Structure 1
């Protein structure tokens, strides 16, 4: 049977989409090659014709997905417009929807620990992408210590989502998200007054 010229590229794209969603929900070890292939509606043979192994797919997922969609749009518009995009990114990241729907969210809260246990190439890809994210955030900040504040923002985002997802009760989860948002707001705008204190 002859396949169209773009068959392999389409199979790879389908595998990346399905693999990204599956791993964000189940983690690297929560699904095997056969499950990834089935989720993409391709054969296991098609998987191995596109990726040497499951870790190669993880590396490709990190390369394609980390920091998105913020990174793809980070250089469009004026600085004030891009700052507003950063604020929107933070708000969406720290939303209840993001906590409850990992398949639609960022790869970092779910897959960072898996990357830490991966080989050098995958970790280098992660380092490059997260450094690019921090740099893009830093470019939108004013005042001193922009790089330090940008790294703090990235770390707070990922950490808050990871912690909130591990909590069963909505009240404490909301506190984590709200308090983190206030802290990040002050890192973005250092002169901004602190939010209303809780009793």
Structure 2
């Protein structure tokens, strides 16, 4: 019996979603194709019917995760009525919740250190997605691209450090300082 129309695209989407979650939580090198496929509810034998290799999946997972992140931050900003929309995004991005849930968070702090050692193809896709995120942040804040780059860099770096330390007080302090300085950067 043949699969219904759209089945292959649906399965491919499940694999990409599973990979995006796994890569954000554990990085690229620590996650195998069988783990990704299991997360999608599939056996690893079907992977190559959808992707040429793991690098292609990394690229597509980056695109998916950035699209998902921009949509989430856009929805959060759209709900805000009392303060600048970009402040809502900064508060979310540099929150304990975002720090503690990398599997659903921004892919930029999760993969930045690994991407620099990836293939040129993966780095090209990551660069494009980073630029898309800078554009989103800049537009939302009403700032130029240079300031948007600095703002996003502050947010990503702060989150990376807050996730890296084993001292909860220091982690909270990093997040609070990052939120304060990110908001001051917009005013400058």
Where structure 1 has 5 or more consecutive residues not aligned to the other structure, the ranges are 191-199
Q: TM-score, normalised by structure 1?
A: 0.83
Match of 2:162 among 159, 164, 176: 164
Cα drift, residue 172 of structure 1: 0.7
CA contact (8 A) 1:59 1:122 kept: yes
Cα drift, residue 118 of structure 1: 1.3
Does 1 or 2 have the higher relative contact order (CA < 8 Å, sep 6+)? 2
Partner of 2:122: 122
Partner of 1:38: 38
Cα drift, residue 67 of structure 1: 6.0
Q: CA RMSD in A?
A: 2.4
CA contact (8 A) 1:95 1:177 kept: yes
How many aligned positions are there? Answer: 185
Partner of 2:63: 63
- For residues 94-113 of structure 1, the aligned pairs below 5 Å read 94-113=94-113
Cα drift, residue 73 of structure 1: 7.0
CA contact (8 A) 1:70 1:89 kept: no
Task: Give, in whole Å, the separation in 2 of the partners of 1:2 and 1:140.
Answer: 46
As a proportion of its length, which structure holds more helix? Answer: 2
Where structure 2 has 5 or more consecutive residues not aligned to the other structure, the ranges are none
**1:98-138 deviation per Cα after TM superposition (whole angstroms, max 9, x unaligned):** 11111121111111122211111211111111112212322
SS in structure 1 of the partner of residue 166 of structure 2: coil
Cα 1:183–1:22 change in 2 (3 A) is same
- For residues 1-199 of structure 1, the aligned pairs below 5 Å read 1-66=1-66, 68-70=68-70, 84-141=84-141, 146-190=144-188
Q: TM-score, normalised by structure 2?
A: 0.87
CA contact (8 A) 1:70 1:86 kept: no
